[in-house]
Amino acid sequence: MGKVAAGVAALAACAVAGVVVGRRVRSRRKWKRVVGVLRELEEACETPVGRLRQVVDAMAVEMHAGLASEGGSKLKMLLTFVDHLPTGSEIGTYYALDLGGTNFRILRVQLGGRRSSILSQDVEQRPIPQHLMTSTSEDLFDFIASTLKQFVEKEENGSEPSSVRARELGFTFSFPVKQLSIHSGILIKWTKGFAIEDMVGKEVVGLLEAALVRSGLDMRVAVLVNDTVGTLALGHYDDADTVAAVIIGTGTNACYLERADAIIKCQGLLITSGCMAVNMEWGNFWSSHLPRTSYDIDLDLESPNPNDQGFEKMISGMYLGDIVRRVILRMSQESDIFGPVSSRLSIPFILQAPLLAAMHEDDSPELKEVDKILKETLEISEVSLKVRKLVVRICDVVTRRAARLAAAGIVGILKKIGRDGSGGVAGGRSRSDSKMRRTVVAIEGGLYTRYMMFREYLHEALHEILGEDVAQHVILKVTEDGSGIGGALLAAANSSSSVDNSSRYEGIKKSKDEKMAMIPSFFNNRSRDLIFDPFFSFDPFRDFPMSNTAFISTRIDWKETPEAHVFKADLPGLKKEEVKVEIEDDRVLQIRGERSVEKEDKNDTWHRVERSSGKFLRRFKLPENAKIDQVKAGMENGVLTVTVPKEEVKKTDAKKTIEISG
């Protein structure tokens, strides 16, 4: 019996051992599957410096394409019409209205005339009542104007406003807008929960100013900008070496200062400072060099805007947490290391960026913050320390990729403007040839300012891409409240009463010869002739604008046929009486015109309606064989066609013998 009992015990022990071993084997297999998912993620998210430099080059090339023509690139490269940034010499009190979500802010900023000298600032934030977000444009702006009037009266303590000038306002409107001028733009569509149908397709500043008139508030909208341009303005006010601005928060965008002669699609536009701030809308950037994973593809397909904002979906705070959620969900489906699959893992965007950062930066020995967020947010309980470390690693992989790609985007901007030490896209200079200037990039957004690991990874990549010799000249400087203070600063810089601004357009009164003499200074003192010779360069459209404050940007096609040179100009809304075609001395074809300001006074909502108006001038040097006495011009359906016949080319013998003297 004793032997039998011993045998049974031995068999039981073997069975127990077999169960234990079996469990261990199954556990190892499950863990191996999870590790496989992690390895796959790590490989797909790799961003070696070589790949980052490919992204840099792609960004710079897309910037060139977006500047050349509308729709020429995924980057919109929107003209902001901001060609004067605050310098620190601004004096006085200016206001800002920041409307970009379900709240709006009003600011009053007093400037002291020295760089970074903001003597005082007052801010008030108000929620927009829910019903106004779907009401009418008049209801919305009457509410804002009324609040603005109360704010002004409170801050001015009932004192009489200055008789010297009207109050001036910078309007930061962070919705999709087609900018028409520095102080006008048409709303393309609403986002962020707004659905005011009668405002889509309308000029937003006109609606605001009409409401200001109805409220009895004497205030002029000096500028219409978005938050990124406001950040650039604030950065430039603090530091004159600021050339670009980047926002990396819930969303992301960038803008920068571009040379006027590099913005091919804005020909005909007067830019007196020689440069303009360009709103890149870089969230829509895309390149095959971006390291895309299956999680990115699924996120994009399930988003409200598939195949759009690809770059933003890889680097901004709105999406990073959701990528991590998708990875954890797949791991839960592959293995039970997280326990039963939590239903909360299937809720999009449940894992916000602040939670991602908190888990990633949890430095407690037991990773208590990770455990807390898994329990409270995802309803995943009782996971081992080993699994919590796995979650931290997932956060690290996703965040590191985002930060390094953001760094590549910044260097792409620097490359485009020749500030990366390489001389630009086609500069042809080596790094040793380039003398680096101090370069400042203003930066805002919680993902950068509050997420330490993201910030460190971005800096690390910036130094890897540029190299230490160049990177030491590039400074990322945090600004605060570009959308608010920046708007007020731009109102000051573009004030109708500022000394700098009042002298910007003195060229209107100058003689024709004086105007021509002014032209080279608009383009960084490059010596160029006002008259363009279309046979001199590959680009037949680099001519120069008149010195006038108003303009109509017109595009002209030029082609050569066997019989003539043909010029075609789009002049929508102009009558033939408003257009002049002239031949000047030395075979210069001049096409010019003017559309007067059209005003409409009404007694109801609209007090004034203004359409695009102003002058244009295009001049072309005709070739020697042009028959200038037989030039013909015709206009039909808003298209001007100018035909310049050519002299017949005399035919010569196919073969001719040349005598040699001597």
Distances from the Cα of 179 to the Cα of 82, 189, 226, 573, 612, angstroms = 11, 13, 10, 19, 11
What is the 8-class DSSP label of residue 576?
A: G
β-bridge pairing 167-173 and 118-127: unpaired
What is the H or E stretch that residue 233 is in?
A: helix 227-238
Nearest by Cα to 456 from 406, 496, 491, 500: 406
How many residues does the structure list for the chain?
Answer: 662
What is the H or E stretch that residue 91 is in?
A: strand 91-99
Distances from the Cα of 620 to the Cα of 361, 557, 594, 632, angstroms = 62, 12, 19, 15
- Decide: 491 and 96 in contact? Cβ < 8 Å: yes
Phi-psi region at 638: left, alpha or beta (left = phi > 0; alpha = psi -120 to 50): left
What is the 8-class DSSP label of residue 506?
A: G
Backbone angles phi, psi at 648, to 5 degrees: -70, 140
Collapsing DSSP states into helix, strand and coil, what is residue 578?
Answer: helix
Can 192 be counted among the known catalytic residues? yes
Please tell me which residue in 192, 510, 512, 632 is annotated as part of the active site: 192
Q: From the centroid of its chain, how far is CA 357?
A: 25
> Count of CB atoms within 10 A of residue 279's CB?
24
Contacts 24+ apart (CB under 8 A), 290-295: 290/55, 290/314, 290/405, 291/44, 291/45, 291/46, 291/47, 291/51, 291/401, 291/405, 292/44, 293/41, 293/44, 293/45, 293/323, 294/44, 295/41, 295/323, 295/326, 295/327, 295/330
Q: Tokens representing 629?
A: 């006495």
CA angle at residue 26 from 24 to 32, to 5 degrees?
100
Please tell me which residue in 57, 98, 142, 227 is annotated as part of the active site: 227
Residues taking part in catalysis: 192, 227
